Structure 1
Amino acid sequence: MQVAVVTGASSGIGQSAALRIAERGIGVILTYGRNQQGAADAEAAIEQAGGTAVALHLGLGDSARFDGFRDRVAEALRTTWSRDTFDHLVNNAGIAQTSLIEDTTEEDFDRLTRVLLKGPYFLTQRLLPLTADGGSVVNVSSSAAAATSGLEAGYAAYAAMRGGLTVLTRYMAKEFSPRGIRVNAVSPGATRTRLADDAFTRFPEVVPALAAKTAFGRVGEPDDVGSLIATLVGDESRWITAQDIEVSGGYQL
């Protein structure tokens, strides 16, 4: 059985990706930060559907703990799947914060850097020895970093980190290709998740304006993105690497 590691899988896009990947008969190690109940719910849903899942805590902004996390992944692989490697890594966990450049503090900037760019970089590095040849990595970026998506004031730091992850995706694809490991990015547009402290729930008035700018007339749902992530780890995507796929329903089209 193949195994995937999906970070930030306690809700939203990560949880959808974990469920859709599990539907393909792939075991899932899913991680959570503060939302332990959401991770437990995802783990239970996968197991009730006949799959196998293990939930592990991961603080993506604390790279000093990545070695310990790698050891826990190795232990889960041995005890649950009798394996010493996994096949797919989905770097999904993230945070969002908006502020104008003139108002952004170094603390805010560094926090975004640790979670959105440094975190995926060094987590992938630490887990690479456990990643099987012929596997895949999917990095979840953002359409906010795309030149064609239109710019919104207040997203400079966030978009810069996401853009860095998109560039990193291409370099990962180059460096990991001798091992047959595919690396791609997905860049969601406005998607109804718990990001930014559940902003869509707290500010429902922004939804109609975002929907009006989207070709399909609505904001995205987690499954719109999670389903694509599951496709990218699948064998039908075996000839795709170094790509960044926008998943926005035609935002600003």
Structure 2
Amino acid sequence: MPESSRIAIVTGGSRGLGRNTVIALARTGVDSIVTYHSNKDEADATVREVEAAGANGIALQLDVGQTGRVGDFADEVKRALADRWNRDRFDFLVNNAGTSHFGKIGDVTEADFDDIVAVQLKGAFFLTQALLPLIADGGRIVNVSSGLTRFSTPGFAAYAMMKGGIEVFTRYLAKELGSRGISANTVAPGAIATDFAGGMVRDNPQMNKMIADTTALGRVGVADDVGPMIAALLGDANRWVNAQRIEVSGGASL
């Protein structure tokens, strides 16, 4: 393995935007540690695509909502880096894993709210904390947020609150990690036609049309609109981009 190989950890990398990001990174020569929640077959298929693109990858199981286990995951990463890459550091962290939630404010239960906090906010915070000692100086962090932090769609208040917190977290990461040369940015996709939220955007023609009609470029997004953008953000040409929220929505709700 060449010493110059760069390594990314992409959470939720076995499907949707995470998978697309992993494959886009592979095409730029970046290796990946792909995390998956429960579907190992999907994760293994993603790793095969990474290898077909000429990069290297492995899949590790991770439930980001189980913050008590992030230390164990960090230990797994440390072993994987040593065994597979003969390294003790990785370069890029993409906090992508998450779950959807739809519910009007009056209908959200405390249990619902706690579940969203655990995955979207607390999970990203404490996973990043656990991995900080393993991120190489000069590395980069990308946190995936949502267009819903800028425009409001009824039913997504709790979800959008968490993503708003992630955007604040990103700026603090950039400030606190600057002395190590580590940058941190937020990528905020608009509505994307994937299986996220049960395929709400992809499979509902009425919703799909409504979003397309309110988007400057006249369609909903697809995963290929986002993964390559994240890969480009992690490329050398964007080394001076830091503490930014970059929306990738085709001009939604302008």
TM bracket, shorter-chain basis = over 0.9
Cα displacement (A) at 1:241: 0.4
Q: 2:133 aligns with which of 124, 129, 132?
A: 129
SS in 2 for 1:21: helix
**CA root-mean-square deviation:** 1.0
Matching of residues 1-253 of structure 1 within 5 Å: 1-146=5-150, 149=151, 151-253=152-254
SS in 1 for 2:250: coil
Q: Which amino acid aligns with 2:108?
A: T
Structure 1-normalised TM-score?
A: 0.96
- Post-superposition Cα deviations, 1:93-133, rounded to whole Å, max 9, x if no partner, equal 11111111111001100111111111111100000000000
CA distance in 2, matches of 1:205, 1:192: 13
Q: 1:140 to 1:131 in 2, by over 3 A?
A: same
Structure 1: 4+ residue segments shifted above 4 A: none
- Post-superposition Cα deviations, 1:1-43, rounded to whole Å, max 9, x if no partner, equal 1110000011111011101111111110011112322211110
CA distance in 1, matches of 2:233, 2:140: 8
CA distance in 2, matches of 1:174, 1:53: 30
CA distance in 2, matches of 1:97, 1:35: 20
Residue 202 of structure 2 contacts residue 208 of structure 2 at CA under 8 Å; is this kept in 1?
A: no
Q: Which amino acid aligns with 2:235?
A: G
CA distance in 2, matches of 1:204, 1:9: 27
Unaligned runs of 5+ in 2: none
The percent identity for this pair of structures is 48
User: How many equivalent pairs are there?
Assistant: 250
Cα displacement (A) at 1:201: 4.7
- Post-superposition Cα deviations, 1:138-171, rounded to whole Å, max 9, x if no partner, equal 000001011xx3x211111001000000111000
Cα displacement (A) at 1:202: 4.7
SS in 1 for 2:124: helix
Structure 2-normalised TM-score?
A: 0.96
Residue 191 of structure 2 contacts residue 201 of structure 2 at CA under 8 Å; is this kept in 1?
A: no
SS in 2 for 1:61: coil
Unaligned runs of 5+ in 1: none
